[in-house]
Amino acid sequence: DAGVIQSPRHEVTEMGQEVTLRCKPISGHNSLFWYRQTMMRGLELLIYFNNNVPIDDSGMPEDRFSAKMPNASFSTLKIQPSEPRDSAVYFCASSRLQGTTEAFFGQGTRLTVV
């Protein structure tokens, strides 16, 4: 399996622009997680889905952030409009609901908002 695939790996955008991050989970996994990692705040869970349904979005910082999972093989995290404080590494992870359920992480998207 190719693992969790995220795109793009790096994104530089200007403040106010819309940013869309993409994630393809591991085939057969039915839980998907979006995380944000910064030096100041560490690893934060933004939102997670079970069977394509958002279960907990309490970590989404504000209405500028939105996430979708239209099918089992694709998810997006959108920031509109972006701000410099959104600069971070964003990780997507997936796991199975059944069994021992360890999460597998993608390589991350490093977002820089200037």
Partner 1 sequence: AQSVTQLGSHVSVSEGALVLLRCNYSSSVPPYLFWYVQYPNQGLQLLLKYTTGATLVKGINGFEAEFKKSETSFHLTKPSAHMSDAAEYFCAVTPGAGNNRKLIWGLGTSLAVNP
Binding site for partner 1 (CB under 8 A): 4, 31, 33, 42-43, 45, 48, 50, 55-56, 91, 93, 95, 97, 100-108
Nearer to partner 1 by Cβ, of 52 and 81: the residue is 52
Nearer to partner 1 by Cβ, of 10 and 16: the residue is 10
Task: Write the DSSP symbol of residue 27.
Answer: T
User: CB neighbours of 102 closer than 8 A, spacing ≥ 6?
Assistant: 95
CB of 30: closest distance to partner 1 in angstroms?
9
Q: Is 84 helix (H, G, I), strand (E, B) or coil?
A: helix
CB of 65: closest distance to partner 1 in angstroms?
18
CB of 75: closest distance to partner 1 in angstroms?
15
CA 79 to chain centre: 11
The residue among 80, 104, 108 whose CA lies nearest residue 32 is 104
Residues 71, 103: Cα–Cα separation, whole Å: 19
CB of 55: closest distance to partner 1 in angstroms?
8
Nearer to partner 1 by Cβ, of 4 and 113: the residue is 4
Nearer to partner 1 by Cβ, of 79 and 108: the residue is 108
Tokens linked to 12: 């530089």
